[in-house]
A = this chain, B = another copy of it.
């Protein structure tokens, strides 16, 4: 099983990197670009075939290590 984890900044937390990307896109002439937010995307190979178990494991990984919940949210998708 593969877990796809998205880690994004919480609303209200400033994202200087996202803003820099937006500026760079504007200066390249992409003027339809509005807000840009940058996050992380982590793919994890898991030796676990039980979906529920896998989900709960990966949730724990996120809470413990992968995300800093002071400023970040996470979401987990599982793919076979």
Contact = CB atoms under 8 A, between A and B. Distances in A.
A45 B57 CA distance: 32
Q: Copies per complex?
A: 2
B43 A39 contact: yes
- Interface bracket on A: 20 to 34
Contacts of A22: 44
A34 interface: yes
A79 interface: no
Nearest to A42: B38
Interface in A20-50: 21-22, 24-25, 28, 30, 32-48
Interface of A: 6-8, 18, 21-22, 24-25, 28, 30, 32-48, 57, 60-61, 64-66
